[in-house]
Amino acid sequence: MKFTPEVLLVDDSPADIDLTTAALAGSKRHLHISSVNDGSEAILFLRREGKYGAAPAPDLVVLDLNLPRKTGLEVLSDVKHDPLLARIPVVIFSTSQASSDIGGSYALGANCYLSKPGTLPDFMAAVQSMADFWFGYASLPDKEKR
């Protein structure tokens, strides 16, 4: 059976979700992409609670920091403190280049911090190299039985 990686995009900007999705589509990899627009939804999705009972288990979470209701750092902290979720790689994908955000993310166990580039070619290249790395070169953990 061919492995189709599951990606969860967490971003409050529909424009960024579309742009990231377009970039991932451009990577020519066969991916399944889901998206949610705030931090609380992200946690519900990952725990398959409420309307997300049938949600797929992501192989990679791409997480924005500036989110309504629950910030990206709070989501990250919840994920890394949850034994069922902790092993899922989380890539922080944010405009912020503040050292406090970068350091704070790694301290909480982020697997990578990627700044959103300002121009389209750079944005596309960043997202595609992220997909190449995580789904082409990196070894991913087995999914937790839930």
Partner 1 sequence: MLIEETVASASVIPGKSGALSTPAPTERASGGLRVLLVEDEPADVELALKALSHAGFEVTSDVVQTQQEFTELLRKNSYDVILADYKLPNWNGMESIEILRAEGLDIPVMMVSGSLGDLKAVECIKQGAADYVLKDDLTRLPESVRRAVREKLLRDQNKSALEDLARSNRDLEQFAYVASHDLQEPLRMVAAYTQLLAERYKGKLDAEADKYIHYAVDGALRMQVLVRDLLAFSRIGRQSAGVGRIDCNTLMQNVLENLRAAIQQSSASIVYEHLPTVTADGSLLLQVLQNLVANAIKFHGTEPPVVRIAAEKKGREWVFSVSDNGIGIAAQHADTVFVIFKRLHTPTEYSGSGIGLSICKKIIEHHGGRIWFASEAGHGCTFYFTLPIEKYSTSSDPRSTSTAEKNEIHS
Cα 13 to its chain centre, rounded Å, is 14
CB of 123 to partner 1, least distance (A): 6
**Ramachandran region of residue 10, left (φ > 0), alpha (ψ -120 to 50) or beta?**
beta
21 binds partner 1 (CB under 8 A): no
* Part in contact with partner 1 (CB under 8 A); list of ranges 27-35, 43-51, 102-110, 120-128: 120-128
CB of 95 to partner 1, least distance (A): 6
27 binds partner 1 (CB under 8 A): no
22 binds partner 1 (CB under 8 A): yes
Q: Following DSSP, what letter does each residue of the chain receive, concatenated?
A: -----EEEEE-S-HHHHHHHHHHHHHTT---EEEEESSHHHHHHHHHT-GGGTTPPPPSEEEE-SS-SSS-HHHHHHHHHH-TTTTTS-EEEEES---HHHHHHHHHTT-SEEEEPPSSHHHHHHHHHHHHHIIIIISPPPPPPP-
Out of 3, 83, 119, 139, which residue is the one contacting partner 1 (CB under 8 A)? 119
Q: Residue 117: what residue type?
A: P
28 binds partner 1 (CB under 8 A): no
Out of 9, 93, 104, 116, which residue is the one contacting partner 1 (CB under 8 A)? 116
* Part in contact with partner 1 (CB under 8 A); list of ranges 9-17, 51-59, 67-75, 136-144: 9-17
Residues within window 48-87 making contact with partner 1, judged by CB under 8 A:
none
CB of 80 to partner 1, least distance (A): 26
Where on the chain is the footprint of partner 1 (CB under 8 A)? 13, 15-16, 19, 22, 95, 116, 118-121, 123
